[in-house]
Structure 1
Amino acid sequence: MLNLSMKPTGWFQIGWSDELAPGAVKPMKYLGHDLVAFRSEAGELAVLDAHCHHMGAHLGYGGKVKGDCIACPYHGWQWNTKGENALIPYQDHPIRKKLRKWDVVEQHGIMFLWHDPAGGPPRDGWLPDVFDHPEHPADPADFYPCYPDAVVLAPEEPIHPQLITENAADTMHFRFAHNAPEDPLLLAFDTSTAIWKSTMGFRSKVTKEVAMLLHARNAGVGLNFSIFDHPVLARRLVLSCTPIDDEKSDLRVSYYFRRDPKSPEHMPESVRQMARHTRVLFEEDAVIWRHQKFVQRPIYARQDVAGYTALRTWCEQFYEATGSTQGPLKVLEDAGEPVNCNLL
């Protein structure tokens, strides 16, 4: 049974790279921690614990970048991208105590932060790449950047990351939530590593044959990378749900649309229309997530059993935090074991 902590282990999106220019500072709060993100004058991204060790000022509100350091707005103490105290303006030597430096990675214009409730380093193989897919690689240069034209930001939503993760095994909602003409098929899934891998097949309304494949790779709870394999509708997608605290999360959607050879540098209006439609698609799911109760012991239909049970078992490895609340998720505790409605 999942403990549904709002502080799971894994990688989480904290924004888009172009939101933070060299010399810029941004206050953040994620996974219950006050953070400050800044980019050095040379362009290096750093995320540190937010409060200066001197008198506790929040470096994200009024802090200034000086070279590779962020200077406290209160007394000017400087902290470098490693979290080290580099300068006390009115003292001839810095202190040894560091601010916590968080592990971050930038990938195709997205900023990711590593979280381990025990404080451990990033684990090998826990962050896939939406373009460096083993079976379906692509050159990122062949796609428009996702930011700022093909993204969705839904801040401070009362949504648990488990809910978006369950889409990886859910074929049957597409017809009802997204008006798909036919029910997709869950063709394959693999739970043998820390990356969930699955393939869905979307059928043509006319031929009833599979016309588009959706290859999904989930990185822990709250981070999904998807590839839409279709001659015309080819695109790549990153969907993320990053807990802020025990009550709310920031949700983001990032689409990478293939460049039009006639307009390789500037996204044409036809692609912009598809990009704007991403908000509509997001809301079709979000309106359910915002009011959904989580059923620990579902009554499964036959189509649900294999995918859902495998996914939930796979998710257990990411809920390592103990004593943490389940946040906004309302849980229905049904008696008995999960059952298949076809057996009733």
Structure 2
Amino acid sequence: MERSTPDHGTVSARRFARGWHCLGLVADYADGKPHPLNIFGTRLVAFRGEDGAMHILDGYCPHMGADLAGGHVEGDSVVCPFHHWKWGSDGKCTSIPYCKRVPARAKVKAWSTLEKNQLLFVWHDAEGNAPDPAVEIPRIEACYSADWTEWMMRKMVIQTNCRELVDNLADVAHFGPVHGSPASYFCNTFDGHLGYQMFQGEDSELLGSGLRADSAYFGPAYHITRMTAKTGGQTVDTLLLNCHVPIDQNSFELRYAIKVLKQPHLSEAENQAIAEGYAGQAHKSFFQDVAIWHSKTRIDKPILCDGDGPVYQLREWYEQFYTDVADLPAPSKKVFESKGGVWRQLDEVPEQARSQLHLI
């Protein structure tokens, strides 16, 4: 594969990605209290209103600067702890207890939210555009099925730029050294706002044998993987969530979660025990990456060899989320496949690499 060194990362070093960002489980925000969010270089507040919907507003009161997360929820409003100004779900001030007239300029930004797959999402766009209907978060039936365990989630803060995490989508060479599971087959597809990876390996030190991982980024920050492997004499079928939200340009919140398909011949307790055991192994595998991210630095022009895969093409795909909508190139699809360590670019996605995520 031909290697070049394009200058990616210039825009992405100054802004945050356009798209849906996952904030974790909806249930964690649904207790009727305001929750602080330190993301996108600012402070936000999230709360569930009396209307049953999740709302996210800019987190500081524009009156005298108090933190709205220190207040309380009343109806569909969050009440400032300092002077009890009420801020509605649309960001407008609805009431001031010691004043009859609310100033026309009394409003804060209301952020677009989405609840899907038991998860809460917030939309970010540096240009202030509304969510693009074409960049949707797909419904995953496993999240609404009793055949699967509940999400087992962990949250952590990584002290580096979030692009370091996204690079893993194309970084086939790290699976052997970091995870002890070298790829026997690998394929990347970059198709509009979707970035796919198909991984197959013979053995994994932590996750079992015959490992197959079908994964995709739906936009810049929400990553889902369907993974199967044989361990302990049975096939374990899992769904992995790997999502991030930038705190600033040099740190991000990372949420990692797993669901496991239950074995029909086992009891609920037995299935939960298997799920928790395998989740522990998956977390160990994932934390092998975390240890690298914690200490690495950003390299905008890495020196690559022929076995490294389409790292620059991945970054070119990823740069779209940092580019003004008016300046975006026409949508395209690029496919790269590796067999026996030899890379080639294809015109179409091969049968072996076709994603089944839409069938979950």
Question: In the TM superposition, what are the counterparts of 1:80-229 in structure 2 within 5 Å?
Answer: 80-96=88-104, 97-129=106-138, 131=140, 140-146=145-151, 150-155=152-157, 157-180=158-181, 182-187=182-187, 189-203=188-202, 211-229=210-228
1-structure distance, mates of 2:137, 2:213 = 16
Partner of 1:234: 237
Equivalent pairs: percent with the same residue? 25
Instruction: Name the TM-score, length of structure 1 as normaliser.
Output: 0.80
SS in 2 for 1:144: coil
**Structure 1 outlier segments of 4+, above 6 Å:** none
Instruction: Name the TM-score, length of structure 2 as normaliser.
Output: 0.77
Distance 1:179 1:98, change over 3 A: same
1-structure distance, mates of 2:270, 2:50 = 28
Q: CA deviation at 1:30?
A: 0.6
Q: CA deviation at 1:154?
A: 0.8
Q: CA deviation at 1:265?
A: 8.1
2-structure distance, mates of 1:284, 1:51 = 37
RMSD: 2.6
2-structure distance, mates of 1:127, 1:237 = 19
Question: In the TM superposition, what are the counterparts of 1:213-292 in structure 2 within 5 Å?
Answer: 213-229=212-228, 232-261=235-264, 262-264=266-268, 268-292=272-296
Partner of 1:36: 45
Distance 1:109 1:265, change over 3 A: farther
Moved more, 210-219 or 268-277: 210-219
Distance 1:259 1:92, change over 3 A: farther
1-structure distance, mates of 2:116, 2:281 = 24
1-structure distance, mates of 2:46, 2:271 = 30
2-structure distance, mates of 1:56, 1:258 = 48
Partner of 2:321: 318
Moved more, 261-270 or 98-107: 261-270
Moved more, 158-167 or 257-266: 257-266
Show CA shifts across 1:5-24 (max 9, x none). Answer: 25122222223212112412
SS in 1 for 2:243: strand
Distance 1:246 1:166, change over 3 A: closer
Structure 2 contact 48–55 (Cα < 8 Å) conserved? yes
1-structure distance, mates of 2:77, 2:320 = 36
Q: Which runs of 5+ in 2 are unaligned?
A: 1-6, 325-342, 344-360
Q: CA deviation at 1:115?
A: 0.8
Distance 1:46 1:20, change over 3 A: same
Show CA shifts across 1:285-321 (max 9, x none). Answer: 011112223333333232323x223212111111238
Q: Which runs of 5+ in 1 are unaligned?
A: 322-341
Q: Is 1:67 matched up with 2:69?
A: no
Structure 1 contact 84–99 (Cα < 8 Å) conserved? yes
Show CA shifts across 1:2-54 (max 9, x none). Answer: 22325122222223212112412111111112111111134321100012232
SS in 2 for 1:314: helix
Structure 1 contact 130–238 (Cα < 8 Å) conserved? no
Structure 2 contact 84–97 (Cα < 8 Å) conserved? yes
Structure 1 contact 22–41 (Cα < 8 Å) conserved? no
2-structure distance, mates of 1:24, 1:138 = 25
Question: In the TM superposition, what are the counterparts of 1:15-34 in structure 2 within 5 Å?
Answer: 15-34=24-43
Paired residues in the alignment total 306
Distance 1:186 1:15, change over 3 A: same
SS in 2 for 1:294: coil
Q: CA deviation at 1:260?
A: 3.9
Q: CA deviation at 1:139?
A: 5.7
Structure 1 contact 14–242 (Cα < 8 Å) conserved? yes
What code does the residue aligned with 1:294 have? R
